[in-house]
Structure 1
Amino acid sequence: MAIALGLAVVLAIILDAVADGGPALAVLLYCLGIAAVRLPLRHSAPIGVLAIGGLLVEGAIHGRLGRDLSLILSACLVFLVAYSVKERRAARAAEAREAVLAERARIAREIHDILAHSLSAQLVHLEGAKLLLRADKTDEALDRVVHARDLAKSGLEEARRAVSALREDPPALPQALRTLAEDFQATTGRPCTLHISGAEHRLPPEAELALLRTAQEALTNVRRHAPGSPATVRLLYEPGSCDLRITNPASAEPGTPGGGYGLVGMRERAELLGGTLSAGETTDGFQVRLWVPA
């Protein structure tokens, strides 16, 4: 293509020198535009130099350098406009690719947050059940299997919710938190109080997702590590930020041991947004707090 366009430029200059007509100049400008749009700069630039040099030589030979100088300016303008169009197209394509990669990363993180924690906990329970069966402790082994089944059921429900959220527009954060509180109460039989203060408004999708996943993980930990305890969820909308706190009193019943990897993932998600996540004991129980700029 570069050779063909170069030859077309030379022929257009020769035809203009012989016939001094407009069609030859139109062909010249068209070839420069095509070269700038279709070819890389290392190939299109020599064609532009060839056109400018040919026009200068033609003007010097025929004594019409003034006319050809204006034509050279027009040729440079056409080349620059066509090249800028090409660069804008490349920039939009790059932005589209980055958006696709970011969406893939978001989906991967979402699936990991949902499944990795529940699957690792299931493996721990099943491994413990295997050891208990070898020791003829069938009742304790059955209890481990039941816990693993409950974790599998919970993970499957979370995966279905995630797929549904990817297919549809997710609900607003307050509504999603109300649903979580209702699920907690229906599952545990204990109250889950939700307090929302400040002017409610939609946050960026990444911020709403981080707040929702943190609330899910915190309420899951309450069910596992503090069985029988109620929970309180507080969401505060502030100018330029949002503050989420999940608290629960200490439980007299023994909970399921765990390593807290889910909160580690939530902390990483918060840091990606420029926020902070803290989790620890309080004077009367346990609190998980997430602050994100929004």
Structure 2
Amino acid sequence: MAIASILPRATFARRARARRHLVRQPTFVLAALWLSLVLVSAVAPGLLTRYDPYAIDENHILGPMSAAHWFGTDQFGRDTYTRVVYGTAESLKAAVLAVLIGLVVGSLIGLLSGFVAGRVDTAVMRLVDTMLAIPALILSLAILTTLGPGTISIGIAIGVNSIASIARLMRSEVLSVKERAYVEASRFFGHGTWYRLGRHVLPNASGSVLTAAILDIGTSILGVASLSFLGLGAPPPTPEWGSLVAEGRGFFPTQWWMSILPGAVIAASVLSVYKVARVLRNSRSANIA
């Protein structure tokens, strides 16, 4: 009884130390605050700006940065900062869709391949290797050619690209977990395959996969912005981060902020996701240890 009461206390104390360690990291705190601001922009953009992202103002065409227009105005007099804020929802929608597709489909494939093994594992892994051999941009363009441009199409295209890497990671975790003693003991006691998968294998194999999925959010944001920059995202005048960078490139010599500032928002968001994901991964490893 004494040992049983001590173990939860030790776990709680270790987790409390981990949380204090996170708070003491200024770069982690800044990254978390930035991502919180991004989420607010996606959910309630009206809280961060008073302008209409589609309102044309002929009196402020290609205006510079100012107290009234933090990111300046575009070729139609629209407030660039407002369009960046309202473009967050479209960009994140595609990125989250991509991560969900890669996570769900890739995890199922990896779980099946690693647990069943044998010929099924060999066939599935050959398919995964084939997907990894195709350059991501070419595969994305092929999918977008079939589906047509749009935010959802971009999310599907990028999500399909991430299936193979998630599947390989899940397979390796499953191969490690299914050989552990408690899984063998579960089979010895007569528990069925689905019970062992859901009760033991999946929960213990999913930690690293979830961390990789968080990292993939940053990669997906960058991929969405890249395809949107190429004109494959939502049609104008819908704002998206990548399309905003593309709109400003024609005015770069004189109005450089039209491209640089939306690009800086993309870079800050991607770096913040990477920072938070890596810190959480290291914290999780420390808790396990």
The TM-score with structure 2 as length reference comes to: 0.24
Bigger relative contact order, structure 1 or 2 (CA pairs below 8 A, ≥6 apart)? 2
Larger Rg computed on CA atoms: 1
Q: Structure 1 length as normaliser, TM-score?
A: 0.24
Structure with the larger helix share: 2
Pick the structure with more strand per residue: 1
